Amino acid sequence: MKNTAKIMLGILIASMVYSCLAPIDVATKNGDAYVNIYGYLTTDTTQHHIRITYSDYFFSAEPPRGIGNALVSISDEDGNVMVLTESPDTAGLYLTDCDAYAIEGKMYTLNVEVDIDNDGIKEHFQAKSDVPYSAKTDSIVLTSGKLPYLPFVKIYGEVPQNQKNYLAIYCSKNNDTVGIFDYLMIVEDWYFDNSNIQGTEFPLFIEDGIEIGDTLHFRVNSFNQEFAHFSMQVRTETSPSNPILSSPPANVISNVKLTDEGKSVNVVGFFSTFSYKTAFRISDTVYPPMMRNDR
Amino acid sequence: MKKIVLPLLCLVLSTPVFPQSARFTMSGTISDAENGEDLIGVNVFVPSLNTGASTNVYGFYSLTLPKGKYEIEVSYLGYETVKMTVDLSENSKRNVRLTTLTKTLQEVVVTGEQQNVNVARAEMSVERLSAKEIKSLPAMMGEVDLIKAIQLLPGVQSVSEGSSSFSVRGGGHDQNLMLLDEATVYSASHLMGFFSVFNNDAVKDVKLYKGDLPAAYGGRLASLVDVRTKDGNSQKFSGVGGIGTISSRLTLEGPIAGDKMTFVLSGRRTYADVFLPLAKEQRVKDAKLYFYDVNAKLNCKVNDNNRLFLAGYFGRDVFASENLSEMDFGNKTLTVRWNHIFSPKVFSNFTLIGSYYDYATEIDMNESIAQDWKSTMRDMGGKADLSYHPDPQNNVKFGYGFMHHAIARGTGGGVGENSIIRRFELPEDYAIDHAVYASNESTLFRKLTLRYGLRFSLFQNLGNDDYSYRYVDYESADSTFREKGKVYNTQWRLEPRVGVNYMFNEKHAIKISYSRSAQYIQLASNSSAGSPVDLWFYASENVKPQISDQFAFGYFRNFYDNMFESSVELYYKNLTNVVDFKERASLFVNSRIDGELRFGKGYAYGAELLLRKNKGALTGWIAYTYSRSFRKIDRVNNDEWYRSPYDRPHSISVMLNYDFQPKWQFSAGWVYATGIPVTYPLGRYQIEGLYVPIYSKRNEYRYPDYHRLDLSATLKLSKPSNRFRHELNFSLYNAYGRKNPWTVYFKQDEENPDRMKGEMMYLFSVVPSITWNFNF
């Protein structure tokens, strides 16, 4: 809702200029080196991971270099500590046990110790994140909207009352995977008229259409405010900008801090914790692909 | 400050001392004999005294001379000079009608001004364009455009490809005051900026003041664009129009009751949407995409001393996808003016002004998320401007104006019983501004003209039955309930304006000026080009008015009997209380914008060179501008200085017209400018397979340089003596297909996702157009 007008303007601009694209060579100098620490812990019981890499020249053609030999742990406010072990296959990838999970309402702290500046002393990085309570999704229904190729998914459920809610909505079909930044939208509390999301509808942008028997997966991630902002910033900075609607570019925020006084190491990335709920529905209706010309 | 202000006040308020021998005043209006339009800037000259006067924007002049018999010359470029003998033994009224030069005698002239006016006038940093001059420029998509013409003038830069927003001398695009018949136009764009709201057929005269504003005007730091529309043909019913590639237009004008009352009615509409049903894709078939606008004016000569004008503008852009969503936005302005001549020496203009801008959206994809949205801005006010002409050596102006502002940031939300979206209504913001000014243009010696004035501006925030928040160190400190309509915050500034013109002779002069301006209203947008959904916000208890101090020096020289005009202007601007925004400021639907602001300072400097050829078959100009602009904003760019988005060191514009009498006219325009400053990524890090950029310092890099060639040819299909005249105009915009980037972005290579590649979006390749123009 908040960005409705901007989205519409974006569509207008895109419709006017979509075909005028050309490659361009851009040369910049290399910037300062950063340590990138990124990962998350969810309420799902599974193996989670933290990835630690170096930043790189923007126009490098190589994958990021992992940073090994770090001590990585995640602790909760009750003093429980999970120690992560480095993957033998991927440098800089640190794994939890296979049954790790976060508990709603708790605060978690990521601690990373690693010698970045090769002075023989490990630098200490830390990040904290709380786990919001999840939104209940009782059931979902697939409905038709005004456009034949744009179905809506109707969700029944409830939004927690004791917190600020940032709900990231995801949809996928059959075995398609969706990344954490592939959300349909991030919805804030004020969007809803009341706490019960009784029949809240979201447009379902499935580009290649839906056939009878397709399984539609639906997921609602409950982010905390910081991670919601981080997610939106990542999406903004990795998408095209335009002079009419875009703010000046800016670096994405990070919640990872270097805790050693007197040391200077640049750090980026994010440690987050979130809860989520899923639901699925098997389609009994055909929806044509979005881009078909004969509609 | 007092050291400057007191002498100025004395100068403004002092009564000039004149010889006490009997003096009488000749006054009147000067108009075009063919259509009755008042002529602006006509020279009324007394050769024996080497003195004279010129007409104001309403065609009025006043000349006070000792009793005697005089030869008087009334001259205006493109018109036959009228010589008359006047026995001035009492105050007299002389209205003069000038006849255009016959075709055989007429030299091709592109400026509507009299000989050497650029040298003689006390003002500097002023550019004037006539409708005729604008019409001679190559058209984009068949539409000649006033703003696009302004962007070709020295010191003026487009802020992005295709945009109607522009920067003057490194200033922000919200630092330009756009006036249409005295009413402020807040959003001057149609179709995302490809066209401006000004229909050239309705325009009579355009004047651009680059920072050095007359004392009668204020409220913006960088420029004033003063657009005056036609008053209407008092001699006969006439019309002008055209049918173009994407739009058509028609202007009708004529007398209503003899020559006492005239009207002008002008409209245009684009019709790209008419062709959309031919598209293959259904969603394109169902789309709407058009704009229209209407200018209307009534002009009533009540008697010799009183005239009334009623002018209005209404325009709208509509963009919609059938059964899905709609968005529309537009301006409305209304001006009621009363010209009253109190005495031959005192001319007055009283104006009531209304200006309104709104945008609205509707989404109707599904009843549970059906929603709408509306935001508005409204100005209502008035002003009184008086001029007193005690003698040919002095032209005193003074006046008062006020304006009530209201901004409704947003009302909307869910629509219908089944919508699950909350409705909301942000409180309206109110403010009122006042200004009192006085100025004089005084010829001290025959070669020296002094222009000085003082403007006192006062801005008051009014309560809205809501809380205002006070910020300390950018954090909300406390809040206070503000009763609706009650003034709760007042700020004022003194704005001196001074200029000196020393004429070595009638062909060359030097000019120096100093001007201070205050801006109390600014755009709530941190994009570089602005958009229709941007609203404005006020100076407040947290926001001081932005201040600009501009110093300028110029040398003006004309050659070969005014065939060539040339000028060099140097300027330096110091900016204080510069308002900018924190990174990723939330400006949309935010009733507490003050918390998103950051403050700082800035400066700009540059040089502008202009060579203009006014006469002959070949006319046009070459302009070169060197312009730098920098900012330092608290907590932005690590508190370091950075290039403003409008810092573009070099720009050149070359405009040439060649008239092959009697059939063809050709014109060409070439523009070049250093690329727009941009912040590029230097480094990257990977998250979830995405490469997230790590940026350079703000605006450390630039887009590729901008350049473009436009061509146009006009074939006259009828004789000039015909009652119905028509012509065909062929235009090529961006004739050599330069791909000027509108935006540059980076994406992962599909073959090697670890490689980032740059891609640019450009708006135009070669754009041909054809327009059939007519007039009768």
β-partners of residue B371 are B363, B414
pLDDT tens-digit map of B89-133? 888 888 999 988 764 444 444 444 566 778 888 889 998 888 878
Residue B2 included in any domain: no
> From B323, which residue of chain A is nearest by alpha-carbon distance?
A146
In Å, how far is B615's CA from the nearest CA of chain A?
40
Q: What is the pLDDT of residue A159?
A: 82
Count how many pairs of residues, chain A against chain B, have C-beta atoms within 8 Å: 262
Percentage of the residues of chain B whose pLDDT score is greater than 70 = 95
- Residue B607: pLDDT over 60: yes
The position carrying tokens 């003195």 is: B51
pLDDT value of residue A12: 53
**Contact residues on chain B for A4, CB-CB shorter than 8 A:** 361, 363, 371, 373
Interface test with B, best of A11, A58, A293 (most B CBs within 10 A): A58
Question: Region B183-198: what's the mean pLDDT?
Answer: 88
Candidate from A100-114, A195-209, A234-248, B538-552 with smallest mean pLDDT: A195-209
SS3 of chain A: CCCHHHHHHHHHHHHHHCCCEEECCCCCCCCCCCEEEEEEEECCCECCEEEEEECEECCCCCCCCECCCCEEEEEECCCCEEEEEECCCCCCEEECCCCECCCCCCEEEEEEEECCCCCCCCEEEEEEEECCCCCEEEEEEEEECCCCCCEEEEEEEECCCCCCCEEEEEEEECCCCCCCCCCCEEEEHHHECCCEEEEEEEECCCCCCECCCCEEEEEEEEECHHHHHHHHHHHHHCCCCCCCCCCCCCCCCCCCEECCCCCCCCEEEEEEEEEEEEEEEECCCCECCCCCCCC
Asked if B181 and B32 sit in the same domain, the reply is no
Give the SS3 label for residue B26.
strand
C-alpha to C-alpha distance for B759 and B766, rounded to whole angstroms: 20
A30/B764 touch (CB, cutoff 8 Å), yes or no: no
Residue of A13, A19, A180, A238 to mutate when probing chain B, most B C-beta within 10 A: A238
Statement to judge: residues B341 and B470 lie in one domain: yes
Pair B192, B171 in one domain: yes
Dump pLDDT digits (tens) for B441-482. Answer: 998 877 899 999 999 999 999 999 999 999 999 988 999 999
Q: Which of B216, B212, B176, B215 is nearest to B196 (CA)?
A: B176
CA A152, chain centre distance (Å): 22
- Is B194 inside any structural domain? yes
Residue with tokens 């300062």: A32
- Give me the pLDDT at residue A295, please: 34
Is residue B379 located within the same domain as residue B472? Answer: yes
| CATH number where B540 lies | 2.40.170.20
Tell me which range, B54-58, B107-111, B366-370, B618-622, is most confidently predicted by mean pLDDT: B618-622
Which of A4, A268, A294 is the best substitution to test chain B (most B C-beta atoms within 10 A)?
Answer: A4
Within-domain flag for B3: no
Domain encompassing residue B698? 126-775
Q: Do B694 and A244 touch (CB under 8 A)?
A: no
Residue B114 and residue B256 in one domain: no
Q: Could you tell me which residue, B18 or B22, shows the higher pLDDT?
A: B22
A274 closest CA partner among A218, A226, A216: A226
Please give, rounded to a whole number of angstroms, the shortest distance from the CA of A4 to a CA of chain B.
8
Residues B183 and B111 in one domain: no
Using the 3D structure, point to which of B104, B120, B136 is the last residue of a domain. Answer: B120
Q: Is residue B430 part of a domain?
A: yes
Task: Give yes or no for B584 touching A (CB within 8 A).
Answer: yes
Using alpha carbons, select from B22, B20, B25 the residue that is nearest to residue B91.
B25
Tell me whether residue B199 is in a domain. Answer: yes
B690 touches chain A (CB under 8 A): yes
Q: How many CA atoms does the CB half-sphere of B287 hold within 13 Å?
A: 21
CB atoms near residue B356 (< 10 Å): 18
**Are residues B116 and B201 located together in one domain of the fold?**
no
B116 & B162 share domain: no
Inform me whether the C-beta atom of residue B89 falls under 8 Å from chain A C-beta atoms.
Answer: no
Who has greater pLDDT, B510 or A143?
Answer: B510
B285 touches chain A (CB under 8 A): no
Single-letter amino acid code for the residue at B486: K
- Per CB-CB distance under 8 Å, the chain A contacts of B752 are 61
Do B181 and B77 share a structural domain? no
ipTM: 0.91
Return the HEC string of B510-579.
Answer: EEEEEEEEEECEEECCCCCCCCCCCCEEECCCCCCCEEEEEEEEEEEEEECCCCEEEEEEEEEEEEEEEE
Query: φ and ψ at B256, to 5 degrees?
Result: -110, -50
User: In whole angstroms, what is the distance from residue B251 CA to residue B296 CA?
Assistant: 9
Give the gap in angstroms from C-alpha B321 to the nearest C-alpha of chain A. Answer: 10
What is the structure's pLDDT at A11?
Answer: 54
Q: Is residue B9 part of a domain?
A: no
Mean pLDDT score, B151-176: 92
Average pLDDT, integer, range A163-185: 89
Sign of the dihedral through C-alpha A178, A182, A188, A192: negative
Residue B678: closest CA among chain A residues belongs to which residue? A248
| Dihedral (Cα; B153, B156, B161, B164), 10-degree rounding | -90
Residue B390 lies in a domain: yes
Over residues A148-174, mean pLDDT? 83
Q: Which of A158-167, B176-185, B346-355 has the lowest mean pLDDT?
A: A158-167
Contact between chains at A55 and B754 (C-beta distance less than 8 A): no
Please, which pLDDT band fits residue A152 given cuts at 50, 70 and 90? confident
Please state the φ and ψ torsions of residue A5, each to the nearest 5 degrees: -60, -40
Same-domain check for residues B646 and B609: yes
Residue that the structure tokens 């050497």 belong to:
B116
B611 found inside a domain: yes
Identify which of B666, B769, B775 has the alpha carbon closest to the alpha carbon of residue B718: B775
Given B73, B88, B120, the domain boundary residue is B120
Q: Are residues B470 and B607 in the same domain?
A: yes
Cis amide linkage into residue B138, ω under 30° from 0:
no
- What CA–CA distance (Å, rounded) separates B565 from B127? 12
Q: Are B306 and B350 in contact (CB under 8 A)?
A: no
Task: From A252, A61, A28, select the one nearest B682 (Cα to Cα).
Answer: A28
Rounded to 5 degrees, φ, ψ at B552 are -140, 145
Give the C-alpha separation, B222 to B227, whole Å.
16
Rounded Cα distance between B609 and B607, Å, is 7
CA distances from B607 to B112, B117, B569, B651 (A): 25, 21, 6, 11
Of the candidates B301, B744, B390, B687, the residue with the CA atom closest to the CA atom of residue A22: B744
- Helical (H) or strand (E) element with B471: strand B466-472
Task: Please tell me the total count of domains within chain B.
Answer: 2
Q: CA nearest B281 in A: which residue?
A: A293
Structure tokens at B662: 């009697």
Report the residue from B530, B680, B757 with minimal CB separation from A28.
B680
Q: What is the pLDDT of residue B734?
A: 92
User: Are residues B570 and B709 located together in one domain of the fold?
Assistant: yes
In angstroms, what separates the C-alpha of A199 from chain B's closest C-alpha? Answer: 8
Asked whether residue B3 carries a pLDDT value surpassing 80, the answer given is no
Nearest-neighbour CA in chain B from A189: distance (Å): 10
What's the CATH code of the domain at B116?
2.60.40.1120
